[in-house]
Amino acid sequence: MDLLNTLVDKGLRRELPTREEALAVLATSDDDVLDVVAAAGRVRRQWFGRRVKLNYLVNLKSGLCPEDCSYCSQRLGSTAGILKYTWLKPEEASQAAAAGLAGGAKRVCLVASGRGPTDRDVDRVAGTIKAIKDQNEGVEVCACLGLLSDGQAERLREAGADAYNHNLNTSEGTYGEITTTHTYADRVDTVQKAHAAGLSACSGLIAGMGESDEDLVDVVFSLRELDPDSVPVNFLIPVEGTPLAKEWNLTPQRCLRILAMVRFVCPDVEVRIAGGREVHLRTMQPLALHLANSIFLGDYLTTEGQAGKADLEMIADAGFEVEGAGQVTLPEHRVTAGGGCGSHDGGGCGSHDGGGCGSHGDTGCGSHEGGGVCGSVPAAAPAPAAAAAPAAATAATVGEARTDLVAVRRRGAGTDLAPNA
């Protein structure tokens, strides 16, 4: 296929595809999905070999967010039956992080629900970072706390944070349909603050909220312009009790095409499969490793993930290897250019759980179930309209509701039960 040959050549040269080429990837048929994966896999292997970076989420403060992000189970007013608790003590957070690190994770993502941290919150997180780093030499720490005020990114950097996650989530043109309590520009500003402070910037998206192909390409091109070290790709987890609980718009093939498009547009960046991979990729998760070079291990912020042992077996069975603590995540040209955490610890941030640090799992501040700042939409707020998508794309992407695959997290941080790692 001429399109794929062109995109591979551009990816190996780090050249930006055209919008038309990116849209064409999303428009390929299910019959061609293996060809798309193989092509994007060549680009992935050029810059990251067969390494898979493992990241681990710690939800420092869960629920009761004042923001109205429609995808998020932690928003104020959410009726989702999630865990709700205030700040974990540094020793509790360090203990939670240790489980993920023992499972092979090299990065810990510290997430807290809310619009953004107060200065006192920054002090709290600084203490948690110190506790984790005192116990685990060489660990990378990414913070995901919402919208940053002036000077806070610098304070987090001084406290030992390596990266900061704040997702754009969707296109600027449709952002107001997802969230009304802050703006797309607010999110961009926070990513720029993190970058300017010398933190490795981590920013990604959530797919499956009823957006069009054009929206997906818009947000990924915007991310390319922001130049984060890490781009987490979250797939909406439709949690009961949120405005988007009925949005089941994804198939495994659609998810693979989205990941391939992100890889072609951001060829040398850490692309992370974040929240929702178990729900929407399902048995096709191993194929996604040919596109992304990073995943979250274990559970997400408010929802459960695949068993950590199963993640490790999947990586090995697919012929990949877990990235070691001594290996640098990013390609040399990004490291020498001073890419934040990628320049000294080797990696970008991101997870979805929907939410937290790059993950959607329900997303707290930047994770999936939201990403970036946490929040949810009040009942009267408009949900994104699937009608915005082209008819052909909509017909091809509607998936079967698999509510049986969505389980609220009842273990790990905020509970007395052992975490999944």
Cβ–Cβ < 8 Å for 72, 242: yes
Would you tell me how many other CB atoms lie within 10 Å of the CB of residue 183?
13
Would you tell me how many other CB atoms lie within 10 Å of the CB of residue 119?
11
By the 10 Å C-beta count (0-12 exposed, 13-18 middle, 19+ buried), 92 is classed as middle
Both tokens of 151, joined, read 């000077």
Give yes or no: 69 in active site: yes
Alpha carbon distances (Å) from 26 to 157, 167, 240: 38, 21, 28
Alpha carbon distances (Å) from 187 to 36, 76, 297, 342, 414: 31, 19, 26, 21, 28
Give yes or no: 72 in active site: yes
Would you tell me how many other CB atoms lie within 10 Å of the CB of residue 320?
18
Per DSSP, the three-state class of 56 is: strand
Q: What angle do CA 218, 11, 18 make, to 5 degrees?
A: 35
Q: Is 316 left (phi over 0), alpha (psi -120 to 50) or beta?
A: alpha
Give yes or no: 109 in active site: yes
Active-site annotation holder among 72, 341, 349, 357: 72
Closest among 343, 273, 366 to 314, alpha carbons compared: 273
d(CA 316, CA 71): 33
Active-site annotation holder among 51, 75, 142, 409: 142
By the 10 Å C-beta count (0-12 exposed, 13-18 middle, 19+ buried), 333 is classed as exposed
Name the E strands within 225-357. 230-235, 270-273, 294-296, 321-322
Active-site annotation holder among 51, 272, 277, 409: 272
- Beta-ladder partners of 219: none
Active-site annotation holder among 44, 51, 65, 341: 65
Give yes or no: 224 in active site: no
Per DSSP, the three-state class of 405 is: helix
Q: Phi and psi of 169, rounded to 5°?
A: 75, -55
- CB contact burial 128-156 (16+ within 10 A = b; e otherwise): bbebbbeebeebbbbbbbbbbeeebbbbb
- DSSP β-ladder status, 270-273 and 321-322: unpaired
Give yes or no: 142 in active site: yes
Q: The tokens 């991310």 sit on which residue?
A: 223
Give yes or no: 349 in active site: no
Q: The tokens 């759980």 sit on which residue?
A: 353
Give yes or no: 65 in active site: yes
Active-site annotation holder among 51, 107, 157, 202: 202
- DSSP β-ladder status, 294-296 and 270-273: parallel
Active-site annotation holder among 51, 109, 254, 257: 109
Active-site annotation holder among 44, 51, 69, 266: 69
Active site residues: 65, 69, 72, 109, 142, 202, 272
